[in-house]
Amino acid sequence: MSDNNNLIVYCEFEDGKIADVSLELLTKGRVLADRLGVKLEAIVIGDKLDGIEKQLFPFGADTVYKVEDKRLYPYTSNPHAAVLINLFKEIKPQICLMGATCIGRDLGPRVSSCLHSGLTADCTSLEIGDHKDPKTGKEYTDLLYQIRPAFGGNIVATIVNPECRPQMATVREGVMKKEIYNPDHKGNVVNLNASKYVSDADFVVEIIDRHIEKSKVNIKNSPIIVAGGYGVGSKENFQLLFDLAQTLGGEVGASRAAVDAGFIEHDRQIGQTGVTVRPKLYIACGISGQIQHIAGMQESSIIISVNNDPNAPINTIADYVITGDIEEVLPKLIKYYKKNSK
């Protein structure tokens, strides 16, 4: 294989379906690959991969690598890492993107460590740009800008990797938009022989049984979200948010501060360390607006802030600001919505 220096996305595969986060990364990868003038590649590792490329081509993949072996599904660390490490030595991609999932968090560091390439986790944005080393004066073109909050969210850091390849980054589900590039787009399929990339010694761990429990909360796909922060004050006060969400036909979310205070369960956390959402309406109640939280909801179509602090940072990105206590404001919102929607 002589086709080097492309952009590759590791695609997670479960029950015959490619994970949403992988399709989101293909969407972003297509934009980055076009900017660089290179091919967008995808790799799927597992079993029963017949026709899996049909899920990937519409999102812009030019090449789909398939590594099929019944021992490669479900995911285990060593075999998948061995496949990527040995394949990357061969095809030498310049960029590799993965989802910041349980699998990506396990696999990414293993691969980057073995290839001495470095990795930026939980990126909130990916761009292509140039960099000049202030010490040596050397200029680099077309590097991957790996952008993420740092130092407790007090700054947004842009991280570059000038020398080592591949440039690796993980991104949480929902951070990038999932969009079909072209429903008729077709690329090449490359079937790789698993035994060439992974040895029997890598299969020392065998999964005997798996129990997967699906999340009961689906805030990611809800068009209306009523979110509460530490300013809500108590678990009992969160019931007001549930009442409003039920009235509007939406879901309840929360900031990390509210989750850490024990007001609500972690499944509903929105932000850099939670879920990224893009609802049509986002009502932020008692949320100050730390950068990590804003990273997870700033692309909402309409943002309404309900806060007793008129100078709360979230008010700067809100379309509408209601200054007041949520104990007074939310019952009125419920009352007037019911009154005017009959």
Q: How far apart are CA 46 and CA 158, in angstroms?
A: 34
Mean pLDDT to the nearest integer, 256-280: 92
Q: Is the pLDDT of residue 237 over 90?
A: yes
Q: How far apart are CA 92 and CA 85, in angstroms?
A: 10
- The pTM assigned to this predicted structure is 0.83
Per residue in 142-170, pLDDT tens?
999 999 888 776 788 999 999 999 999 99
Which is higher by pLDDT, 86 or 274?
A: 86
CA nearest to 189, candidates 21, 55, 76: 55
Peptide bond into 93 cis (omega under 30): no
CA nearest to 25, candidates 4, 37, 3, 43: 43
Specify the DSSP element, H or E, that contains 134. Answer: none
Domain annotation for the chain: domains and CATH numbers:
7-203 (3.40.50.620), 224-340 (3.40.50.1220)
